[in-house]
Structures are given as structure tokens and as C-alpha cells.
Structure 1
Amino acid sequence: MRFGSKGHLRLAAPRLLAALVAGTALAGPAFADTVNVAIVGEADTFDPMMSTKDVVSIVTQHFLETLYTFDGSWAVAPLLAADMPEISEDGLTYTIRLRDGVTFHDGSAMDSADVVASLERWLAVASRGKGVADKVEAVEATDPLTVEIRMTEAYAPLLSLLAFSNSAAVIYPQETIAETMTDIVGTGPYRIVEHVPDQYLQLARFEDYASRSEPSDGGAGARTQAPDEIRFLPVPDANTRVEGLLSGQYHFADGLPAESYARIAETEGVEPMLLRPFGWPVFAINHKDGLLTDLTIRKALQAALPMDDMLYAAFGDDNFFVVDGPMYPEGWAWRSEAGTELYNQNDQAKAADLLAEAGYDGTPLRILTSRQYEFHFKMAEVAKMALEAAGFTVEMNVVDWATLGQQRNDPALWDIYITHSPFLPEPALTDLYAPTSRLGWSEPEKDAILARFTTETDEETRRELFGQLQEKLYEDVGFIKIGGFNALMGHAAGLEGVTATPWPFFWNVTLD
């Protein structure tokens, strides 16, 4: 399937196509301003409303934009909005003024009708949009460049949700909006030129892009369109990404294994990029269907897992991981120890007793994972041994990342899927807590705490409520944090201006 902007689609040059198919690096002045980026796999959609996968966020943020974004300190900043919103004293009405002169890739001008239609779709189809939809009374255009969002109750994380590039509230032209998006038209600094699935996605500079004028700061401020073109190459094998970076085939490579750090650091012409701390691996639990709808069996799962062994198998070097139960690392305002006595029990005998109490009949525990993030697979292997020692029958389903993204939407196909998340500035951005997420974790006391947490505006009270939410997470085994980890990326020494972020972007980079 080919995606492109209306009036801007062109075919890649034959030389480019031949080189991409052959997997070779490109040379010569015609391509001196093309940045080659190796990503962990195919972005299976270019509609980020429909996905929470990082690989989708990384790609789509270059051609689709939101009303707000995050600056380098993770504070919300305006992007397509002219400025921060005016919020009524009761916290129920947000008045958002839009930037004038913003142009879509099809040549049409962005106005409030496009924003209203896009936000209404986001509330209806995006996992994070659906999580707040019941609190939104209306989204209306009050003039061509002003949008009003009226809430039924105060909702503290709203601006963070509107700023996030993951399950994102991106703005489309009203005329292109459909249940399934087939015409991907945005306002971003780059536009889609050519897409060959599982081979490459070619983006070219959008010449009519309306950049902000403020200095670049994280995702905020000016987006300078420094490269002429950006090429995203799905490379599922982690070792292939490393070798391609070292050989000069890729200017940037994402999701590299920890054991490659020393080799990258010692090789002339390339540099490692370590994000410390980055995030947390998670065993996502199916609360909608199957074995783990039983709380006692969930407790047996939690009791059996050896977090330290799993993390060591995944990363091999304790410079890259920490065995840590709180949902946020040291130094973060959200950090709490509540409930963490249930973390890293590594007690297979206790788990066996819980399975007996539950009347476990040997039904296979189905773990869905992928090798494109090799550390996911390595954790699953260790978990399988510990769970079998406790008496579980374990069935591993190892698929590519795109297939995992599809299968996890069907609760009949899995009991656990393995994923990870960066540490996010607002806990409500982690949609796993919401009963509307694909996990379906809904428990009356937890849901009440979550509702109070999202409507409370006092930061100290919110921190206390998050501690209660974390405690409930451990007690009800909503999902399982394995620990904390640092993420490794790498780039060519001549690639300047790369921002260290979980979702790397390339509009401000220069290539020597």
C-alpha cells in the first residue's frame, strides 16, 4: 500500500530503489542530505491515533502534528496551537487559539473545523482518547481559528494527552477523516514520498511547512527541516542494526542491544547514545478473557517471576538495568514505595500453593512476544522456566512486532504480551491503568482512585493518589513491571543535533 500527500506523491529515483532493495549504503552528492534511520520494524500504521507503538510514534511525528507537544523538560508547549489554552477557573473549559497560516500537505489551510473533526475522531477511536471521552461534553469551533473543549469534570492530564505522540491527537484535514485512514495528510515538516512495506519509508521536506519561530527545545520550538530527506528502514534483527550502523549504512539506529555498547564506543565514526533512565519492561495482562481473569492465578504469576534473573538475561550488564519496584525511578516526583513488597518475590513454592488454591488445571499460559526487541524475548525465556517450576504450563508465541501489535488487540489470542514503556511525565499517559485499554483492567476501588487522580489538580494530593494507585496495581496484579532499564541507540559521528529522547526525531539534525 502506498501512502502520500495529495498533489505531492512522487516515485523514488531508480538508483534509490535499487540501493534500498540491495540493502547498500548510498553515496554521492545527490543523497548527501538524506538521513538513513534503522528502526526495529515496520510501522504497521501511519495513523498514530490507532497505535501506542513507539515505532509508529517515531515515524509519524515527522509528518503529522498535534496541538501541543513537550519541550526538553517534558513541559507541555504549543505546536499547532498558537499558545497555551485559556482554562476557565472551574477547569471545565479550554479555549484553544490556533496558529494562522498552517498548511496541510495537500495545500489546504488548517482551521478550527479540521481540529474539531480530528479531536472527535481521536475521542472515538484512540485508546487514550477513549479514556477521556466520557469526560468531554463537547468540542466546538467558535471561530475559524478558535476551538473550545468543554469538560463534564476537571481532568488534569488533558494537555499532556493532547501533546503526546503516542495514540496521538494528530490533526488531519476534515475532508480526509475516515474510520480507516487511507490518505495520510498532515502539517508536519516532512511528507510521505514513497512507502514499500518492510523495505523503507521515504520522507521529503515539505516546502510549505509553517515552523514555529521559538528556539528548538525538545519537540517544541522551531523544526528546521535540516535534512532534505529522511529514510526509515525497518530492520527487525538487532545485530543487523548494529552492523549497519558500524559500517556506515545507517546514520542512526534505534533499539540496540546492551552488549553492543562497548563496540560502538570503540569504533571510529560512530557514537553510542544511552538514555538513562529510559523506561520499564512490562508483562501486560489480559483481564478480558482467559486464564488471568482469575486473581489468584495472577497472584501466582506475580509470585513466581524472578525479576533480577529476567533483567540480567535481558541486558547482561547492571549498568543497563535496575531491579526496582516503584513505577518511577529515583528522583522523580511520582516515585512511591507503596505495594512494592510484592515485587520480585521469586517464590515458585508460593506460586504453586496459589495455583492449587485456584484449582489450576494445566491450561497453557500464553505469552506473546517478539525478537525485534531481543530483551523482550530473553525475559520471556527466563520467565517460562520459573513459571514451569511453579507448575504453570507455558506456551510461547514468538512473532514479529507488527503481528504482535495486531494479535494483542484480540483478547482470545493471549494471556500476557511483553512490551515496554519509557518513563512518562504524566502517569495518566500510561493507558494500561484505564479500564478502556486493551488489557481491560477494571476493578471498582482502582477505578475510583484513578478517577480521583485524574480530576485532582493539587500536585501533592495527586502524588498521594498515585501511590494508592500503585499499591492497588500490586494487590490486584493489573500488569507487572519487571524493572527499570536504560536504552541504547547509536548514530554516525557526523550526525549533529540528535535529541536524546525515547522517540527520536530528525528535523533538526545535520549530516556532515
Structure 2
Amino acid sequence: MKPRYHSLLAAALIALPLFSVSATAEPKRGGIINVATVGEPPTLDPMVSTADLVGIVSQHIFETLYTFGKDWAITPLLAEALPDISPDGKVYTIKLRSGIPFHDGGTMTSRDVVASLKRWTENASRGKQTATNIAAIDAVDDLTVKITLKEAYAPLLALLAFNNSAAIILEADNQAVPLAKVVGTGPYALKERKADQYIQLTRFDGYKSRAGEADFYGGARKQYLDEIRFVPVPDPNTRVEGAVAGQFAYIDSLPVESFERLKGGKSTPSVLKSFGWPVFVMNTKEGILSKLEVRQAVQAALDPNDMLLAAFGSKDFYEVDGALYPKGFIWHTEAGTKLYNQANPDKAKALLEKAGYKGEPLVILTSRQYEFHYKMAQVAKAYFEQAGFKVDMQVVDWATLTQRRADPKLWSIYITHSPFLPEPALSSYMSDASPGWWSTPAKHAAIGPFNTAVNAAERVKLFAKVQEAVYAEAPLYKVGNFNALYAQAPNLKGVEPAPWPFFWNASLD
């Protein structure tokens, strides 16, 4: 019952030549790299956060039972192999790799895995999403774990493989929330964290890599680099100038309008095409957007053409598209998209009147660390005001935004983005526990059959019902599709283009 997923286009459609490790010579060992990120991660515990920034850093420290290989196929990481699944799809028996060391000298056993998975089901938004269908998590022996489900649940392995809201494996005695010790099994260990300066990771000499070749996030993870430093650079223009000057080995999330400027600098720019989608997440739990008519007014008011043009400048970097997955993905459907791209402030006004809106502030949380978020917010504010909303736009750093969005009293909309994920159940809106807190009978009626169907073709058909529910109940507003821009130093080799960049198998030439 190995899941079948379509290749994620972001990994395949690269605008410029890729850097790869030579097939004939082993890369040189040693060296330190500085990686410019969009800011300071709010935590290093990827279980309790869905922020991409947290996953980017923490995936070097912690590992999961499974991960994603080439073409986004699920592949074992700390598990010995893909699980043995019972014919009814309810029992997953997972063999663990033996002799896996933790950074502090302990050795992983089923006791650690059971404790970690229980922590995940209690504290991670995607773990809570999964927990409703878990009957038991048991240790069969020291190297075997059994997960028993109440009914078949197709997304389980993808959820166990994902690197944010992640089912990381911690020591059984290190399960506190907040996390007491940043100790995992990954190829790099935390040495020092200086807030707003850097997060310093050093090679874990005891690391036990999988054998064989590298396989995207899976396969062999070789530690050529001595040290990786993640440096928060919140201002996008500073990231651009750092790339031009060759200040960093890798620079993440660059404004696309800087592409021409970057081509003349010391770092090489690259584009990840069909990378992902910007999204306005609505607070369905409290405040004005808890009313469906007000969310529908948001949906009616916005013009994605103007927002995308303001955010990305050139159609080379965006596409106006309301489908939750673009053409080329098995999940693509046009169901419900007649409600996309309305740009109808009069309709929005009428919906606000019907809802009894009395001028309460529409609080928008956004950040300039992702400059395209901020530019979309500015355009959206004008459309909202034209429709009759009173808008309070709050521009904060990304760490503050991720903290505030956890409190439903503090916001109406927060702006974020996501790569196109290989399994829809990985998307935050699928979880009732994710900020936005969309939880309705209509949602559950659509998502329940989708999650329990095990036939791939049937799941594709059922996803159309999920997308219809998203448009009918408006828990979010997809703005469109966009391409992502990053840059790296010419002497940094072995970095695969990926939505969450990773630096095991990377080396300096």
C-alpha cells in the first residue's frame, strides 16, 4: 500500500542550471556556510509550529520515521522500511532502524518513538488532526511500533513524513512542552543560538546515515560541512544586497523583482517554478469573520490580478489561478472556482449589510520579511475599504505573526503562503486545530471520505468535494500561483532545489 503521488512541479521546473555533486569525486569535507533566512524562527520545536522557517532549520537537527524522496514518494528515514499495513488499512506495523544515536549519547528505541508520537498527537496541529482516528500507539518490541487506527486513513504516512508540525522522534525523557532540550538524531546538532544573530549547527559525528545514494529529503545524508549557521535577515532588500555581495552561501526567499539585479552579483539566482500559493487565512473561530457572509464578502471584494501584479511585477513569476492545485497535479480541479476572482465590491457591500456588519476592524496580520505578503496586503486593504470594511493592517515580524495567529482574539486575516504539497491533508486548512480553526459539518462531510478512501483514483474525485467546500465556506482566500527565487554562492555544491532547503550532502568547492 505504498502511496502514489504526482511529482511536485517545484522540484522539477528549475529556471537555471542546478548545482550537483560530481559523480566521479567525493566532495571535500569541511567548511562553514552562512544561510540567510527571512527571520528568527519562533521555536526550534517543529512539532508545535507550522512555520516553514522552523522546518527549514530544525530538519537538520530532528528526524521523522519517514520523509519524501524523489517525485515526493514517501520513503523511510528512521523507520527501517515502509510499514506493513493490514489488509483493512487499520494497522501499521513499523520496524525501526537499530543503533540510531541521539545527540546526547542515547540510542533510539520504540519507547522513544511511542512517547514522541503521543506528544505529536497531543501538541502538533497535524498530530491532533490525525489523533481523532488513532485507536492506539504501542511498542511491540524494542525496534517495532504498531499504530492502530479506528478506520483506514490514507494521509497517515504523509503526515508522519512532513517536516513542519512534524512527528519528530525525541528521547522518551525529553517530551516536555516547551521542549527542554534541542536534541535529536539528525546530521547536525545545535551548538549555539543567539537571538536575532544566528543559529549555529555543527556536524554530529555520531550520526548514522542511511546507506545508498541521496534521495531528495531521503536516502543518504552526508555531512560534508563542519557547520551551518542560519542567519536571520528580515529585510528583503538586505538579503538581496547580501546575495549580490556574496555575503552568504545561500539566500532564501528573495523578492522576484530583484532577479536582474542578482544576475550581476556574486551569487547565482535560481527560480523554483509553480512553487506555491499565497493565501489569506481567515479566523473562522472569533470576531467578524466567524460569520460566513463576512468571509464571503472578503471573497467577493478581492481582485487577485492586482494583488499578484503588485506582489510579483511580472507574469513570469505568477499565475492567476483559483484551483488549490494547478494543472499538472493529480489533485487539480476547477470545482468551486466560480467564486474566485470576483473583484465585486458591490456584492461584498451587500453581503456585509446582510451580516449586520457595523464597522468592526478587519485586522490583517502581515510581515515585510516576505515582501510579497506585504504588497498583497496593501492592495487588499484598498479593496476591503472600497467594500466598506474598516481595516487595521498590522505589519509585524514573522515570529510575532506566528505567535499572534495562535490567539483568535488578535486577528481577522493573516497572510502566508505554502508550497504545493504532495498530499492535500498536509495543508493547514485540513486540520481543525490550525489557526483559522475551520471546523464545520460541511468541511467534515467533504474531508472525511477523502481521508478514509484508499483508492488513489477515488481520492482524486473526492478532493473536488473538498475544494468545493473551501469555496462555499471561505475559510481562506487563495490569491494565485507563484514562483520562488533564491540564490547561492557558486562554490556551494550539492544543494538540491527544494521548497525547504537542506544542507546535508552540500559541500564547498
Q: TM (normalized to structure 2)?
A: 0.93
Equivalent-residue separation in structure 1 for 2:343 and 2:205 (angstroms): 57
Pick aligned residue for 2:285 from 269, 272, 288: 288
The equivalent residue for 1:123 is 121
Residue type of the alignment partner of 2:398 = W
Q: Is the 8 A contact 1:311 1:483 kept in 2?
A: yes
RMSD: 1.0
Equivalent-residue separation in structure 2 for 1:430 and 1:442 (angstroms): 14
The equivalent residue for 2:4 is none
The equivalent residue for 2:313 is 316
The equivalent residue for 2:136 is 138
SS in 2 for 1:149: strand
- Which range moves more in the overlay, 408-417 or 245-254? 245-254
The equivalent residue for 2:239 is 241
The equivalent residue for 1:305 is 302
Q: Is the 8 A contact 2:46 2:165 kept in 1?
A: yes
Q: Is the 8 A contact 2:30 2:224 kept in 1?
A: no
2:195 is aligned with 1:197: yes
Q: Is the 8 A contact 1:69 1:219 kept in 2?
A: yes
Question: Cα distance, 1:266 vs. partner?
Answer: 3.1
Equivalent-residue separation in structure 1 for 2:354 and 2:190 (angstroms): 56
Residue type of the alignment partner of 1:173 = E
SS in 1 for 2:43: coil
Equivalent-residue separation in structure 1 for 2:472 and 2:343 (angstroms): 16
Q: Is the 8 A contact 1:193 1:203 kept in 2?
A: yes
The equivalent residue for 1:493 is 490
The equivalent residue for 2:366 is 369
Question: Cα distance, 1:431 vs. partner?
Answer: 2.3
Residue type of the alignment partner of 2:442 = E
Equivalent-residue separation in structure 2 for 1:445 and 1:404 (angstroms): 29
Q: Deviations over 1:417-440 (max 9, x none)?
A: 000000000000012122222211
Question: Cα distance, 1:333 vs. partner?
Answer: 0.2
Q: Is the 8 A contact 1:321 1:486 kept in 2?
A: yes
Q: Is the 8 A contact 1:205 1:225 kept in 2?
A: yes
Residue type of the alignment partner of 1:260 = S
1:102-501 correspondence to structure 2 within 5 Å: 102-267=100-265, 269-501=266-498
Equivalent-residue separation in structure 2 for 1:189 and 1:356 (angstroms): 57
SS in 2 for 1:457: coil
SS in 2 for 1:499: coil
Q: Where does structure 1 differ by over 6 angstroms across 4 or more consecutive aligned residues?
A: none
Question: Cα distance, 1:184 vs. partner?
Answer: 1.1
SS in 1 for 2:72: coil
The equivalent residue for 2:21 is none
Q: Is the 8 A contact 2:244 2:264 kept in 1?
A: no
SS in 2 for 1:174: coil
Q: Is the 8 A contact 1:138 1:151 kept in 2?
A: yes
SS in 2 for 1:50: coil
SS in 2 for 1:274: strand
Residue type of the alignment partner of 2:375 = K
Which structure is richer in relative contact order (CA contacts within 8 A, separation 6 or more)? 2
Q: Deviations over 1:430-452 (max 9, x none)?
A: 12122222211122122111011
Residue type of the alignment partner of 1:212 = R
Question: Cα distance, 1:32 vs. partner?
Answer: 6.5
Residue type of the alignment partner of 2:90 = L
Aligned length: 481
The equivalent residue for 2:10 is none
Equivalent-residue separation in structure 2 for 1:237 and 1:342 (angstroms): 35
> Percent identity between the aligned chains?
55
Equivalent-residue separation in structure 2 for 1:433 and 1:203 (angstroms): 33
SS in 1 for 2:504: coil
The answer for unaligned runs of 5 or more in structure 2 is: 1-28
Q: TM (normalized to structure 1)?
A: 0.93
Q: Deviations over 1:284-334 (max 9, x none)?
A: 000110001111111111000010100110011111110001000111000
Equivalent-residue separation in structure 1 for 2:419 and 2:352 (angstroms): 33
